[in-house]
Amino acid sequence: MVLPRPRQDLRGFPPYRTAAQIKADVRLAANEWADPNPAGAWLTPDELDAILLNRYPGPAMDLRGVLAERYGVTPEQLVLGNGSNDTLLQVFLVYGGHGRTTLLFQPTYSMHERLATIAGGTPANERIGFPYEVTRTRALEAMARVRPEVVVFTTPNNPTGNEIDFDVILAVAERYPETLVLVDEAYSDFAGRTILPALAEHPNMIVSKTFSKVLAAAGLRVGVLIAHPDLAESFRAVQMPGSISALTQAVAAKIARNDAVVAQRVALCARERERVSRALREIDAIEVHPSTTNFILFRLKEGTPAEVHARFLEKGVLIRDVSMWPANEGGLRVSIGTPAENDRFIAALAHAFPVAARA
């Protein structure tokens, strides 16, 4: 049988695999907010009935207005999409693509490399390794050598959990004004810092935000790009119409207005993160990396990540094996869950690591 063939660079391209199909009592693999956030908490029956599914969704002006106030920008600077991976793909489609290069500092969020490749571009991986310190000198040297059309900084970084100094990012944006500087701030609320105030003076910079982390709405699928109005317009020119459903718009606008809960979640996360980190640091066989996010990276000094991952799963605890990500050999990542879920993870440590390996 003869079938059409995909592009040469996508032949054999593996699908992105998540742990959604793996059964576990405690799911600490996806960096979601662990407490339930039911949709019924946001819309009354009357509000739900007012959403007409027979009509195409509008341009989300209500949601744009709420987010513009939240981020201190104008609605024209906002580009919305079906989750942050959708909006990130738009970045690589419009400013990357065939014959263009994207510079990544590894290890970092694995979807950046995938999306750059899907868009037809060429990823260039600068191996930072551990400790994960993207310095001004290292970043500028990489820029001069690679000369990319797009460069990505993830801060706080996934999977390492630490921040990149804003001065490093701004130095690159100033030195290379014709390069698109993408700053992925999916976890910035946990760190309590954002580069957004510098956006007005650096029109080649774009900031990515998401509803999937501290806003506890991964299932809602809302991603946000914040950019100079002219750059934002370049995305709207190619974006598919109606990318944010009417239901999503209604719920997202309410969630975005509920800003007070963010500080409570950040404080709870910090307390639980320290408790989980303290328990991990008691294990001689691993190296625990400091984190400002809702997850912790730990790396094995001995043994294999797959074996440790399986032993946690035997206790009903699902974490993430990220050892196959570039420059992240031996790495496992655990999300911060509810206090009860974190208790289960801490209790599973004795099974995951032999007694002889503990301090």
Domains of the chain: 8-30+261-357 (3.90.1150.10), 55-257 (3.40.640.10)
Q: pTM of the full predicted structure?
A: 0.95
State both tokens at 225. 């790009």
Dihedral, CA atoms, 129, 131, 135, 140, nearest 10 degrees? -10
Determine the angle formed by the axes of helices 84-95 and 229-236, rounding to 10 degrees.
100
In whole angstroms, give the CA distance from residue 105 to residue 128.
Answer: 6
Residue 20 is predicted with a pLDDT of 67
CA 105 to chain centre: 15
**pLDDT value of residue 356:** 46
Residue 91 · residue 154 · CB < 8 Å: no
Query: Which structure tokens are listed for 1?
Result: 């049988």
What is residue 311's predicted lDDT score, i.e. its pLDDT? 97
In a structure prediction context, what are the per-residue pLDDT tens digits for the chain, which is 359 residues long?
A: 989 999 998 988 888 877 767 889 999 999 999 999 999 999 999 999 999 999 999 999 999 999 999 999 999 999 999 999 999 999 999 999 999 999 999 999 999 999 999 999 999 999 999 999 999 999 999 999 999 999 999 999 999 999 999 999 999 999 999 999 999 999 999 999 999 999 999 999 999 999 999 999 999 999 999 999 999 999 999 898 888 999 999 999 999 999 889 999 999 999 999 999 999 999 999 999 999 999 999 999 988 999 999 999 999 999 999 999 999 999 999 999 999 999 999 999 999 998 644 54
